[in-house]
Amino acid sequence: MPPLLEVEDLRVHFETEDGLVKAVDGISYTVDRGETLGIVGESGSGKSVSSLSVMGLTRARNAHISGSVRFEGRDLLGASEEDLRQVRGNDIAMIFQDPLSSLHPFYKVGKQIVEAIQAHRDVSKAQAYDRAVEMLGLVGIPEPRRRADSYPHEFSGGMRQRAMIAMALANDPKLLIADEPTTALDVTVQAQILDLIETLQSEFDTAVVVITHDLGVVAEMADEIAVMYAGRIVEHGKSDTVFNAPEHPYTWGLLSSIPRMDAPRGDALVPISGRPPSLINLPGGCSFHPRCPYVRDAHRRVDPMLETVEGAPDHRVACLLDSGTRRRLWSELQQGVAPDVARKDVIEEPLS
């Protein structure tokens, strides 16, 4: 049986007046049934565009899309608009960052869910409405029948995201793409929403792709993590591996910039220096090199491939440092050796 979702060498380039924007530049991943993949990266790393492309929602006239996206073995990139329409909201559903702007302001919540159901199921309005009320109850909205008759602006932020989840899962999709599902919400509500997604995921056996810039979000729910930088995946592995034995300096940066419960008290959070690169003029060689504390001359010329880490078949990383050096640097980092010191040390070392 083919994997549920298989993305291979996906590229999404946009032609703009300023030049070609390589939003997604050759990424591959698979998602199996019931599994959760976390895609992590800064804004502009291409994580949202790649998942919108899976749904066929980036078909702008100026977009060039290549590679392949297969859902249960069916090609989605070449699919007709009508075939894609039948997949959207039925096999693959999506929830977005800002639930207020993602719900139509002029239609009642119940009606919007009914519309999603009737787009794919040949049921009467009353049946669809009952299903909508059932879903609203399932996502934890009190008095669902009464709330179905409310407008989105009458809901709180967390309730709106619950309503979005109810709408997304109403047709029992096999894959849910959650694009920054908690970013626009209060911190107290964020954990509730993540718990809800996890609970429903196990109940419906739905696979989830969760896209976020927040490693805390994926730590809680992802089985696998893909770290994206400048339109590419730079590190990909099991969640535990990426958290405990990361191999890419960018991942190290991400991990050092979030607070950890298991870190010793007094450890400062270290932001990643510099800014994400322009996707029009990517730096030559490794695109992370201008921000990498361990950069060497050769890294400015050679473009690293995503390669399997020695001794860890499920763990892949795109870094030109050799594996031994990376492991040493990571353990030094954990002992508190600052990257600046490490950097001098590495540069003096001959390139292996």
Q: Which is nearer to another protein, 102 or 251 (CB)?
A: 102
**Rounded Cα–Cα distance for residues 294 and 249 (Å):** 8
| Residue type for position 224 | E
Smallest distance from another protein to CB 100, Å: 9
Residue 88 in the binding site for another protein (CB under 8 A): yes
Position among 20, 119, 245, 282 found at the interface with another protein (CB under 8 A)? 119
Question: Closer CB to another protein, residue 118 or residue 278?
Answer: 118
Nearer to another protein, 5 or 254 (CB): 5
Instruction: Name the one residue in this structure whose structure tokens are 């298989």.
Output: 6
User: Is 167 one of the binding residues for another protein (CB under 8 A)?
Assistant: yes
- Report the alpha-carbon distance of residue 182 to residue 184 in Å, rounded: 6
- Please, which residues have CB within 8 angstroms of residue 156's CB and are 6 or more apart in sequence? none
- The piece of 64-72, 102-110, 191-199, 239-247 that touches another protein (CB under 8 A) is 102-110
Q: Does residue 151 belong to the site contacting another protein (CB under 8 A)?
A: yes
Counting contacts by CB under 8 A, is residue 104 touching another protein?
Answer: yes
User: Would you count residue 105 as binding another protein (CB under 8 A)?
Assistant: yes
Please, what sign has the CA dihedral across residues 132, 112, 169, 123? positive
CB of 108 to another protein, least distance (A): 8
The kind and range of the H/E element at 201 are helix 187-204
Number of residues that bind another protein (CB under 8 A): 27
By CB under 8 A, tell whether 102 contacts another protein. yes
Closest distance to another protein from the beta carbon of 275 (Å): 26
Asked whether the CA dihedral 248, 284, 25, 274 is positive or negative, the reply is positive
| CB of 174 vs another protein, minimal distance in Å | 14
- Binding of another protein by 90 (CB under 8 A): yes
Among 98, 134, 149, 345, binds another protein (CB under 8 A): 98
- Nearest distance from C-beta of residue 106 to another protein, angstroms: 6
- Per rule CB under 8 A, is residue 81 in the interface with another protein? yes
Neighbours of 57 (CB within 10 A): 13
Site stretch for another protein (CB under 8 A), options 14-22, 98-106, 259-267, 309-317: 98-106
CA-wise closest residue to 230 among 165, 281, 193, 176: 281
Q: Select the span of 15-23, 91-99, 244-252, 321-329 touching another protein (CB under 8 A).
A: 91-99
Q: Which of 116, 215, 234, 306 binds another protein (CB under 8 A)?
A: 116
Closest CA to 12 of 51, 54, 65, 48: 65
Q: Which of residues 9-68 bind another protein (CB under 8 A)?
A: 55, 57
Q: Tokens in use for 99?
A: 């639930």
DSSP sequence for 265-330: TTPPP-PPPS-PPPSSSPPSSSTTGGG-TT--GGGGTPPPP-EEETTEEEEEE--SS-HHHHHHHH
Residue 128, SS3?
Answer: helix
Measured at the CA of 273, the angle between CA 219 and CA 351, to 5 degrees, comes to: 95
Binding of residue 348 to another protein (CB under 8 A): no
**Three-state secondary structure call for residue 103:** coil
Nearer to another protein, 21 or 93 (CB): 93
Nearest approach, Cβ of residue 84 and another protein (Å): 8
* By CB under 8 A, residue 155 contacts another protein: no
- Cβ burial 272-306 (10 Å sphere, 16+ → b, else e): beeebbebeeeeebbbbbebbbbbbeebeeeebeb
Residues binding another protein (CB under 8 A): 55, 57, 81, 85-90, 93-94, 96, 98, 101-106, 115-116, 119-120, 151, 153, 164, 167
